[in-house]
Amino acid sequence: MLLIHCPYCDETLPEAEFTYAGQAHVIRHPEPSSQTDQEWEEFLFIRENVKGDHFERWRHFHGCGRYFNAVRNTVSDKFLTTYKAGAPRPQLSDLKEGGE
Binding Zn ion by CB under 5 A: which of 2, 64, 92, 95?
A: 64
Q: How many CB atoms lie within 10 A of CB 4?
A: 21
Q: How far is the CB of 68 from Zn ion (least distance, A)?
A: 8
Write the burial class of residue 29 (CB in 10 Å: 0-12 exposed, 13-18 middle, 19+ buried): exposed
User: Hey, what amino acid is at 96?
Assistant: K
* Whole-angstrom distance, CA of residue 99 vs CA of residue 71: 12
- Binds 6: which of other proteins, Zn ion, none (CB < 5-8 Å by kind): Zn ion
Q: How far is the CB of 36 from other proteins (least distance, A)?
A: 10
Which residues contact other proteins by CB under 8 A? 1-3, 21, 28, 31-33, 35, 37, 40-41, 43-44, 57, 59, 65-67, 76-78, 85-86
